[in-house]
Homo-oligomer: A and B are copies of this chain.
Amino acid sequence: MTDASASTALLTDQYELTMVQAALRSGTAHRQCTFEVFARQLPPGRRYGVVGGTGRMLEGLEQFRFGAAELEYLRRESIVDDATLQFLADYRFSGDISGYAEGEAYFPHSPVLKVTASFAEACLLETFILSVMNHDSAVTSAGSRMTLAAGGRLCLEMGGRRTQEHSAVAAARAAAVVNFAATSNLQAGREWGIPTVGTAAHSFMLLHDSEEEAFAAQVQAFGAGTTLLVDTYDVEAAVRKAVEIAGPELGAVRLDSGDLVQQAHDVRGLLDSLGNQNTQIVVSSDLDEHAIAGLAAAPVNSYGVGTRLVTGSGAPTASMVYKLVERADADGRPVPVEKASAGKTSIGGSKSVLRSIGEDGRAEAEVISAEAPVEESGYTGRTLQVPLVIGGEVQPGCTGEEGVRRAGHRHRASVHQLPAEARRLSSGEPVIPTIFA
């Protein structure tokens, strides 16, 4: 994460490698396979999910190489045998990956990724792909509800300190996918060109001998357009001092505690009475989609969202799985496969999918077919699976800054196409049914 050239190949579970060893021995390692990534359910009560992490996964795929240091660890610890080490040393993913474009809405059983390659090549990627998709999709799925609840107001991602330091970077990117306007996280700014924000914390106020001195120091350093934090002591007194020091050009004040609705009204009134009609109000105290909705009628300009965003607002993982659905037999013919484990059944066969769209232009169903192509099902609508990797080559437009930008546009369009009930924050069923055609 901090070093784009670092190998991602050991960010995995041991059994991915031991399976390769056993399959190399049994002669099945090179059987052509299709694995699919899907979630059996959405988090309880959620009406849709949002695919996140696709671009980041593809960036990591390009670094999924076993270099000398990785191989030496595996050899020293006798994790796999020499034949497997040789296979790993030469490993380059040469298969195909297709899937939902990042930012797209998904539903139970939506095949958000499909990996087609030899067993050994595809098996090795399982843990890495799931780690990226499960984390990032948890954040995008939560964050989408927040930006919808915020309407036209800006959402700012500020949760880095409440999650692991590298998850923080990924969460900032996921927030951008679901149309957060900026992040506090500098590494995310550096990696994907996401706009960054940040001015001062309470410690800066306490560092100075008075609130006036702290405000003056900040205005001197960053100009009157800065955002002053006004709740360290007494909010009303602080707003008056802020206006006195920064003048009518004061950019914004930030409220980070207490009854935000009441305070927003009080502070707006006070700012207006002091002639600061253009000074904005930023709020940032334990916000989630419900708190944002509760502030809809309050005179607030932007929302700083932290803990609840980066922890998935009650659903910290998207619970996606990576399941073998088809593999070649000894003669190279494709065979659909599925397990029968209690409560964890899978549906065999490589899936095709479309989102059926009604006459009003809104989505009506997620239609999945494991047999004939879904187009033959009689349903019509929008296809969802796009090529992401062809013959080992990551396709253009999915990664880097462009990937985030495109995902942001796609998220808007995809959510706009959902039925209006998608905006409801109360618990409910998925907003469209998943149909196996």
Question: Is A8 part of the contact surface with B, judged by Cβ < 8 Å?
Answer: yes
Choice from B186, B312, B319, B342 contacting A12 with Cβ under 8 Å = B186
User: With the chains together, A19 CA to B218 CA distance in Å?
Assistant: 8
Partner of A187, one of B11, B26, B196: B11
Q: Which residues on the B side are within 8 Å of A214 (C-beta)?
A: 26
When the two chains form their complex, are residues A233 and B14 in contact, meaning their CB atoms are under 8 A apart?
no
Are A160 and B127 also in contact (CB < 8 A) when A13-B186, A135-B167 are? yes
Complex-state Cα separation, A7 to B186, whole angstroms: 13
A17 at the B interface (CB under 8 A): yes
**Could you tell me if A204 and B343 are in contact, using CB atoms closer than 8 angstroms?**
no
Binary B-proximity of A164-180 (CB < 8 A = 1, otherwise 0): 11111110000000000
CB distance from A199 to the nearest CB of B (A): 6
Residue among B6, B18, B199, B338 making CB contact with A198, cutoff 8 Å = B18
Annotate A328-353 by CB proximity to B: 1 below 8 A, 0 otherwise: 01100000011111111000000000
Task: For A110, list chain B residues within 8 Å (CB).
Answer: none
Q: Which of A28-36, A275-283, A354-362, A428-436 contacts B (4 or more CB under 8 A)?
A: A28-36
Number of copies: 2
Tell me the minimal C-beta distance from A400 to chain B in angstroms: 15
Q: Are A207 and B130 in contact (CB under 8 A)?
A: no
Q: Which of A99-107, A251-259, A417-425 contacts B (4 or more CB under 8 A)?
A: A251-259
Asked if A231 is at the interface of the complex by the 8 Å CB criterion, the answer is: yes
Contacts of A163 in B (CB 8 A): 131, 134-135, 167, 316-317
Task: Determine whether the beta carbon of B2 is less than 8 Å from that of A7.
Answer: yes
When the two chains form their complex, are residues A206 and B6 in contact, meaning their CB atoms are under 8 A apart?
Answer: no
Measured CB to CB, the closest approach of chain B to A346, in angstroms, equals 8
Question: Which residue from chain B places its CB closest to the CB of A35 in the assembled complex?
Answer: B203
Chain B residues within an 8 Å CB radius of A301: none
Q: Is the CB of A19 within 8 A of B203?
A: yes
- Asked if residues B162 and A319 are in contact (CB atoms below 8 Å), the reply is yes
**A200 interface contact, C-beta 8 A:** yes
A204 and B332 CA atoms in complex are apart in Å by 17
Q: Are B205 and A339 in contact (CB under 8 A)?
A: yes
| CA–CA, A378 and B16, complex, Å | 57
Q: Are A220 and B22 in contact (CB under 8 A)?
A: yes
Per the bound structure, the CA–CA distance linking A323 and B199 in Å amounts to: 17
Determine if A21 is an interface residue (Cβ-Cβ < 8 Å).
yes
Q: Considering only CB atoms, which chain B residue lies closest to A185 in the complex?
A: B13
Known: A11-B165, A19-B201, A77-B196. 20 other contacts (CB 8 A): A1-B2, A2-B6, A11-B169, A12-B187, A13-B158, A13-B161, A13-B184, A13-B186, A21-B221, A21-B222, A22-B221, A26-B213, A127-B161, A165-B166, A202-B339, A202-B341, A233-B339, A256-B344, A257-B343, A311-B317
14 cross-chain CB contacts under 8 A = A11-B169, A13-B161, A14-B197, A18-B222, A28-B208, A73-B190, A77-B189, A135-B165, A164-B170, A166-B166, A231-B341, A258-B342, A259-B342, A311-B317
